[in-house]
Amino acid sequence: EQGEIIGIDINGEPIYDNEEKTVLFPITDLTIPAHHPNMPYEVVKDFDEAKKVFPFSARSSAALLRLAIQKLCKHLGESGKDVNTDIQELVKKGLPLHIQQALDIVRVIGNQAVHPGEINIRDNPEIAKKLFSLVNEIVDDRIGKSHQQAEIGKIYQTLPEKKLEEIRKRDKPK
């Protein structure tokens, strides 16, 4: 028996009161930040997917964010094949300690999400939620700051030539 019609689904089909439905959208966790505005598109796709699945699977979310940093490393000029090696190469190029640590946190927790290990994300989904902010911090440091610096440089060059000359004289080593 179908039961009483209680609504219409997205395809215009009737929904009966005795049907079991799982709603996947628009459930969201509003405490998860949006992606950084300077995040590369290929990374945004994984970041946003991780955000969508977080309410259902923090493990899936952590694994997607690990994939996001792998793609971010490739965007930063590394191979994108082995995140650990990519981080090592970035460190050799002067990567700040806190960004290396953030990358390694996302890498290790993302790996642990799909391989049994010492970190159980099922027991502590909040640890996976923190990864979103870390990915944004990495993007801000590696990409966002260079965009800000370029913008400052453009504005600086619009200062009158006379003032620029005064500044050069002021800052000239004595």
Please tell me the predicted confidence (pLDDT) of residue 99: 94
Return the exposure string of 18-55: e unless at least 16 CB atoms fall within 10 Å of the residue's CB, then b.
eeeeeeeeeeeeeebeebbeebbeebbbbbebbbbbbe
CB atoms within 10 A of CB 108: 17
pLDDT at 26: 55
Question: What local confidence, expressed as pLDDT, does residue 121 receive?
Answer: 66
The pTM (predicted TM-score) of the whole model is 0.73
Are the CB atoms for 145 and 36 separated by under 8 Å?
A: no
Confidence at residue 117, expressed as pLDDT on a 0 to 100 scale: 67
The pLDDT assigned to 171 comes to 92
pLDDT value at residue 119: 65
Give residue 20's pLDDT.
Answer: 63
- Identify the pLDDT of residue 56: 85
Please report the pLDDT score of residue 35 as a whole number. Answer: 93
Predicted pLDDT at 18: 66
Q: What are 8's two structure tokens?
A: 């219409």
Q: What is the pLDDT of residue 124?
A: 75
Q: Of 56, 155, 67, which Cα lies nearest the Cα of 110?
A: 67
Contact 128, 77 (CB under 8 A): no
Say what the pLDDT of residue 57 is: 87
pLDDT tens for the 174 residues of the chain, in order: 567 776 666 667 777 666 565 555 556 677 899 999 999 999 999 999 999 889 888 889 999 999 999 999 999 999 989 999 999 999 999 999 999 999 999 999 888 877 666 666 666 788 889 999 999 999 999 998 888 888 899 999 999 999 999 999 999 887
